[in-house]
Structure 1
């Protein structure tokens, strides 16, 4: 590994000898928080760069008597720094947040023209400030609900945070928090995500044209970064909503050499529901999440970071009928990172990561009990390097190795005569172990004033006792400027996925199961090609893009039809394997300036799947195939204190499967009460179209808290303003009079008003 940096430095020596190098970090002047994606440029030489995921930049400029350095970031005042007789040096830069509230309602923290000039396509950065003004279900702000409003993204069931990108399943999204994967980023059966907005710095969604440093999933990367904390002074913020409260505290360490941030959120839903429950039934649901991060500067070239996260859900229900269930699930992550600057042009980040996910669920109905347990544990070591040989050339390379441990258990049987649900024998579950590794190299190169490319290669490897898989993943993105405000981009990428979340759409299981690739379960593979047209107008007040994509996926996994699992060892033998394909056209228009800001997104797409052992081998629509998907999001600033925001969504109803009849078999003893459904085809019906309007009103006021200046903020929001009874699911039953099978539709969320109160100090 040491030979490569030395060789690159030697090859670039003629360039460095004629240039000067500026490098350092760009931070918020008030808090010291790093600004990810800030622009640092020398306009006179038509060169510039952006800060990386750690707020670091390196810029090579030609030698001159004086240079004007321009630093900009959306929502902050642009800084112009005049340098006389400049020399190579480290320049740590700060920006001051703009006083105007108008800039706080941008979807993206991208720099001016970056969407036109960057080679990366299919990538969007979410504005956390905008997220705080949008309508919130039960007063809980949620970044995953905002993700669902972007082009190319399909939401799951109504009100949930599940998302499906360009025809992929939910497990094909890599959701990572400070580089640690989060396998189930949800609370309350998916109604809320585990991400506390107050603890976050930046959220980036990548849905195509994947850089080579990302791998392990087919459809998207949701990269979530925690805040580092205020290195200038002690501060905090907290809030109360309808079902949960939150508190965030932060401050400096060792006189500003470091900082800390701690943030927690806990529901009191169990207390609110208690008065409304029937006397012969009881329920309990609690969830919480906790984030903490510490960073410390050892010197000008070294920084250490430690971030941890934990989230838990615990639900129990005992009904008046025979239905009873209990569920517990949660995530833990910890990331230790070391940033080191080897030279003015060579930066490295090395991380040690551990993460766990556990889910246990028991259901009891009509004398039968079903149980499931899923446990995952990962240990990861990764190292990422960035080298800047010239203003038009950036090299990235690195490696990663992860040790996986899986603990699946699934069973169904009659309830013992004692009437007690058997305790999970988690200690005796046979663990499955696997190792996943990867090496990558990515080259970003500005070829001419109009043309640029990003070419990469990733070499993933997966190994367990039953199989070994080694693959090649080429990545290529090309950008061509059609003018000063218009560009055309093309990308191609191959992705492989070695972990599988088997959905329960055809098996009578209460939850999904994670499985590793094996001799039976082969890896999932995708190929995606995309073409995009990007244009800005009116001095970047408007941004518009049109992207078309075609995507093929192989190694898709579903349960066989009629599967009844009695023990976990039968899982692989009851799987069906097939392929899927998706094509789509995505339109995106965003308004950045003025009192009214927001965006319009529309997606026209079609996603199909085909399995030799399902649906008689015929192709059928994907479970979340929605032909039309429209979202309109807007925010209007009435004054410096009042803001009105809203979002309107419409999409085609998703497909589902209905039986055409039922067959009763006497003498059996199964969880199905001896009644079996007769199906003619898979996903043979569609739910009614879905549409909903949410609105919110925010009032913000400057106040003094504990002798320190701060703010207070009321957010009044209404979910589903006109109380549209959107279909949640459809189930088959029997008409009480005709005794004929019929389908009934269930709606979940009518109009729901909410209020929350937030303070900062």
Structure 2
């Protein structure tokens, strides 16, 4: 191939760490003799491409550390990896001219991975949201994702269901990452560095879900001084602190969030507001543990609703309705570099989800508990033209589901699942020639309690047409053995419950195929176009015709197909930044009884525009416009009066009205659109940084239909639409110190 890629060059990748093995963020790195400079990222990683073959010297600078100069050798067509360790030294440095590569540019040049997006916390914080920034609502604006309505942060990715996304917080699984029945996500942004989102064709190191991977990355705490922030919005209050551990070895961070409406009402009246939610997240980083770095993190979220149905009196006890749900996660990760080319990672973790409904005393109770224990490990070796990785996952799920009435002594359902999975993977990213990257891989899955053993091949390839353009393909097989049963036809998720694979519940399977073109325009603007296809089998759903007296017919299966086109234009430099995403998609499902229908997430066109700039009133302004074509729903064609007849007395003794439904999802809601605007200011006062925020959702007050209600008592019958978010102005304030 002609052009620069055919020259006798190689690439250089490296990391900068302290002598105690703590990653050093944003180091200035210079290739001496070439005059090429770059700025490392938040984890100290940096890279250069098209370095002429030969021996060179690397100069690394960072404020507070002694400058280091290290030699290295680049071989033709090979990738060289170095680790540079800096010694602490208070110094004064002059100006450094540096050009930093965006994470997506680095991925474009060095990795073969389709359908991958990276967002930093600053980008997320700028996007207009309900009361405060929201990670999951920002992910909903990326290509391939369908947001079904304003009241849900659920992710339907390339035709998949909301439970088919692997959500990881610092490497630990989070089962149900939202509050308020889906309106707000559980991740407070104070402790988050950013996220990586893979919407399809993900490599062999990921498993357990069919559709996508969302990795939320916690950040390490400050290594010098005590720092923190507090904020208040119209929804909740947040507080976070961070600093070094005693003795200066390592760092810590803790952040919390809680709604305050219940406390505010209780302070000024005798009335009680029955609901609140809360989050708590923390992280400790400790270098120098067995030659590596140990990080421990914890996460807890909970929603608590307690409502008095009837007050107690002389003839009746108090009747209440209680609904609680939440997540727990604890994890530890140990990483150790072995030499200059190998990185060893070991993880241990515990994740849990709970949902409890109680109508009391003793009238009705529902409980779903999920507990996951896991060990996993990875080894990654950088060997010139190869980056070889292998690893394992050993995890056990204990899942319980119960619904019944203690008052009458009836169990409507009592189910338990205990799947244990042993998985192993191996993959190799290989650059056989400078213009080609290949990434074959395989993942093996074996489950106890069933005879299932699955082999999931994965493959990806990237061919560079020139320095700025590349063609990519990826594909593979994916398995899922824990499932969340929710009625996808209901537009909001009030609750869900999880089940696991056993002799009656199958392992779900999906096959992905993705082909794409990526084109860069300089260092800060990129265009990506991808076509995708996904085939799904043995999808698990509740059986609406189950017999309560029969064990084994609680669930049914379905198969499905999704295909479409994603377009993504992103600009990260200059006066105007942001992105445009567009998805053209089609989804179909067929049940095991032969019923064919469009699932609730079958949206033909989805468009999102996010644009940010420094504008009037010295504010950072962000505009977000969203459009979605019609989503399907099952309509009510009419209703009939269901009467009960007593043949002994020859009379009707009661009746109720029963709806007559159309074919499943045969109708469509009107198209959706919304324009949001936000402004964020920054100023210093009293030794702190202040960030007031003003957001306006649905600025032109469009009435987007959420759900229809029918009144057949009127003649003619009346259909009324309940709308989504109206015109909503919100304000907030964050103070950093």
User: Structure 1 residues 530 and 324 mapped into 2: Cα distance closer, same or farther (>3 Å)?
Assistant: farther
Cα distance, 1:483–1:575 mapped onto 2, change above 3 Å = same
Q: How many Å separate the matches in 2 of 1:448 and 1:59?
A: 17
SS of equivalent residue, structure 1 residue 306:
strand
- In 2, Cα distance between the equivalents of 1:288 and 1:230? 24
CA 1:91–1:137: 2 relative to 1, 3 Å:
same
Residue among 692, 712, 716 paired with 1:734 = 712
Tell me what 1:349 maps to: 345
2-structure distance, mates of 1:219, 1:51? 32
Q: 1:608 aligns with which of 555, 563, 588?
A: 588
**TM-fit CA distance, 1:302:** 1.2
1:472-551 alignment, distance < 5 Å? 472-505=455-488, 511-537=495-521, 539-551=522-534
- Taking the aligned partners of 1:703 and 1:632, their CA distance within structure 2 comes to 34
1:699 aligned residue: 681
CA–CA separation in structure 2 for the residues paired with 1:236 and 1:50: 26
Distance of aligned partners of 1:300 and 1:520 in 2 relative to their CA distance in 1, 3 Å threshold:
closer
Alpha-carbon distance between aligned partners in 1 of 2:610 and 2:389, rounded to the nearest angstrom: 36
Correspondent of 2:325 among 325, 329, 336: 329
Preserved contact between residue 200 and residue 224 of structure 1 (Cα < 8 Å): yes
1:274-673 superposed matches below 5 A = 283-298=273-288, 301-318=291-308, 325-362=321-358, 371-390=365-384, 392-411=385-404, 431-464=416-449, 467-505=450-488, 511-537=495-521, 539-562=522-545, 572-613=552-593, 617-638=594-615, 641-667=618-644
Pairing of 1:79-94 with structure 2 (within 5 A): 83=70, 90-92=83-85
Q: Which residue of 1 aligns with 2:732?
A: 756
Query: Could you tell me how far apart the structure 1 residues matched to 2:85 and 2:177 are?
Result: 35
Please list the CA deviations of residues 178-226 of structure 1 after superposition, one character each: whole Å capped at 9, or x if unmatched. 1111111011111111101111122111112211110000000001121
Deviations 1:480-509 (A, max 9, x none): 011111110011111000111122257999
8 A Cα contact 1:41 1:70, kept in partner: yes
Deviations 1:235-277, CA, capped at 9 Å, x for gaps: 1111111121111101111443200001111111224567999
How far has the Cα of 1:757 moved from its partner?
A: 0.6
Query: What SS does structure 2 have at the residue aligned with 1:624?
Result: coil
Deviation at 1:445, TM superposition (A): 0.9
Deviations 1:304-360 (A, max 9, x none): 111001111101345799997431001110001111223221211111100110001
Q: CA deviation at 1:730?
A: 2.0
Between the aligned partners of 1:388 and 1:134, the Cα distance in structure 2 is: 37
How far apart in 2 are the matches of 1:68 and 1:602? 42
Q: Distance in 1 between the 2:496 and 2:146 partners?
A: 19
> Is the contact made by 2:402 and 2:411 (CA closer than 8 Å) also made in structure 1?
no
Task: Supply the distance in 1 between the matched residues of 2:396 and 2:510 (Cα, whole angstroms).
Answer: 23
1:47 and 1:165 map into 2 onto residues whose CA distance is: 40
Q: Quick one: distance in 2 between partners of 1:148 and 1:22? A: 32
Pair 1:633–1:370, CA change in 2 (3 A):
farther
SS at match of 2:606: strand
**1:24/1:593 CA distance change after superposition, 3 Å:** closer
CA contact (8 A) 2:328 2:352 kept: yes
CA displacement at 1:512 relative to structure 2: 2.3
Give the paired residue count: 699
Residue-by-residue CA offset, 1:671-716 (whole Å, 9 max, x unaligned): x9854333341101111111111101111013343xxxx4111011
CA offset at residue 80 of structure 1?
A: 11
User: Are the counterparts in 2 of residues 372 and 511 from structure 1 also a CA contact under 8 Å?
Assistant: no
1:441-468 residue CA offsets vs partner (Å, 9 max, x unmatched): 010111211111111100011222xx23
In 2, Cα distance between equivalents of 1:335 and 1:587: 36
Q: Is the 8 A contact 1:282 1:319 kept in 2?
A: no
Cα gap change, 1:362/1:84 in structure 2, threshold over 3 Å: closer, same or farther?
A: closer
Q: Please report the TM-score for the alignment, with normalisation by the length of structure 1.
A: 0.82
Closer, same or farther in 2 for the Cα pair 1:656/1:111, shift >3 Å?
A: closer
Distance in 2, Cα, partners of 1:50 & 1:609: 48
In structure 2, distance between residues paired with 1:702 and 1:657: 54
Q: 2:107 aligns with which of 109, 114, 123?
A: 114
Corresponding residue of 1:176:
168
Name structure 1 gaps, 5 residues minimum. 1-18
- Describe the SS at the equivalent of 1:472: strand
What is the 5 A alignment of 1:11-160?
Answer: 24-25=15-16, 66-68=56-58, 83=70, 90-92=83-85, 109-110=102-103, 112=105, 114-115=107-108, 117-138=110-131, 140-160=132-152
Structure 1 position 728, deviation (Å): 1.4
Retained in 2: the 8 A contact 1:67–1:83?
A: yes
**Unaligned runs of at least 5 residues, structure 2:** 1-9, 75-80, 312-317, 647-653
Please state how far the C-alpha of 1:373 moved relative to its aligned partner: 1.6
